[in-house]
């Protein structure tokens, strides 16, 4: 595919804009912003990746992973502003996930220690972890809010903060993991996963592509469970003070 072909593909952008205008959806502006941003961001990433791949320098790989974690943290922490210290809690979680998954992959020589493998896999792991963090924080803050009276009840009867928040914590961890597990059950039946499609289009052997996709799916299961559980156990204590009182979100 050449840049000329890609330019022609902008037809796919013009159509929704025309539709938005005729139907008065008011989405023209957002569509344009989305298109421009995706072009700029992806081209930039493309050039950076090319540079990092060519240099084969570990420092650049580390730098890219750091940027990914910082961006993901920035995005996820917005959903947990009511939790004290949420920024570093999300950061620690993402770092642990990244270190954990890469140590296993590199340690057992499942993937080679090159930028070509480390960066895309880190991207998928960190991106997924970010989504999980958002799902978890959304649900957890809602659960805490809705069941404040039960939390107070358990505290009043001599329960610890951990006991008082246990049900809400488990509900939030579980519900944030469900989409990951459910989507894996139907994978390949409804649609081919993005990474696998990409590899096949780029000319890879389908069986090779499937193997890689499976690896990613296994990784994402770990990512999902570790993210939710870890963030959960890091977050709940800051809802209480040292006198085991529930702090009210202001």
Partner 1 sequence: MITDYKPAVNFNHINYSVDGIHILKNITESFPEGKITTLVGPSGAGKTTLLKLCNGLLSPDSGEIYIKGKSISSYEPVELRQLVGITLQSAPMINGSVLKNLALPLELQGRELIEKDAKNLLHDVGLEEEFLHRPIKDLSGGQRQKVSIARTLVNRPQILLLDEITSSLDRISQQEIEELIVKINQKYKTTIIWITHNLQQAMTVGNYTWVMMKGEVIETGTSDLLHSPVNEKVRHFLKGEVK
The residue among 26 and 158 lying less far from partner 1, judged by its C-beta, is: 158
**Cβ at position 173, least distance to partner 1 in Å:** 18
The neighbouring-strand residues paired with 240 are 246
**Cβ at position 235, least distance to partner 1 in Å:** 21
**Local structure of 56: helix, strand or coil:** coil
**Local structure of 240: helix, strand or coil:** strand
* Residues near partner 1 (CB under 8 A): 149-150, 152-160, 163, 167, 243-246, 248, 250
Count Cβ neighbours within 10 Å for each residue of 156-177 and write b for 16 or more, e otherwise. Answer: eeeeebeebbeebbeebbebbb
Distance from chain centroid for Cα 55: 28
**Cβ at position 139, least distance to partner 1 in Å:** 17
**Cβ at position 155, least distance to partner 1 in Å:** 6
Q: Please report which helix (H) or strand (E) contains residue 79, including its range.
A: none
Going by the DSSP 8-state scheme, the letter that residue 244 receives in this structure is: S
**Local structure of 246: helix, strand or coil:** strand
The residue among 151 and 235 lying less far from partner 1, judged by its C-beta, is: 151
The residue among 109 and 250 lying less far from partner 1, judged by its C-beta, is: 250
**Cβ at position 169, least distance to partner 1 in Å:** 14
- Residues in CB range of 64: below 8 A, 6 or more apart: 48, 52, 119, 122
The residue among 42 and 150 lying less far from partner 1, judged by its C-beta, is: 150
The residue among 197 and 241 lying less far from partner 1, judged by its C-beta, is: 241
């Amino acid at each position: 595919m050449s840049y000329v072909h890609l330019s022609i593909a902008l037809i796919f952008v013009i159509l929704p804009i025309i539709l938005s205008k005729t139907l008065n959806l008011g989405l023209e502006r957002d569509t344009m912003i989305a298109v421009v941003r995706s072009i700029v961001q992806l081209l930039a990433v493309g050039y950076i990746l090319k540079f990092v791949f060519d240099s084969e320098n570990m420092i650049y790989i580390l730098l890219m992973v750091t940027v990914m974690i910082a961006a993901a943290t920035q995005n996820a922490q917005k959903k947990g502003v009511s939790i004290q210290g949420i920024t570093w809690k999300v950061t620690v979680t993402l770092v642990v996930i990244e270190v954990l998954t890469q140590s296993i992959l590199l340690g057992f020589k499942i993937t080679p220690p090159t930028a070509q493998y480390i960066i895309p896999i880190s991207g998928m792991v960190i991106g997924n972890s970010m989504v999980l963090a958002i799902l978890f924080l959304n649900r957890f803050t809602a659960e805490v809010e809705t069941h404040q009276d039960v939390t107070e009840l358990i505290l009043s009867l001599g329960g610890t903060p951990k006991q008082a928040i246990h049900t809400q914590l488990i509900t939030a961890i579980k519900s944030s993991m469900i989409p990951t597990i459910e989507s894996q059950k139907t994978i390949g039946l409804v649609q081919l996963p993005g990474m696998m499609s990409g590899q096949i289009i780029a000319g890879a052997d389908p069986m090779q592509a499937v193997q890689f996709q499976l690896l990613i799916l296994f990784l994402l299961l770990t990512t999902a469970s570790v993210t939710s559980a870890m963030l959960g156990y890091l977050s709940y204590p800051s809802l209480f003070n040292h006198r085991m009182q529930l702090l009210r979100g202001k």
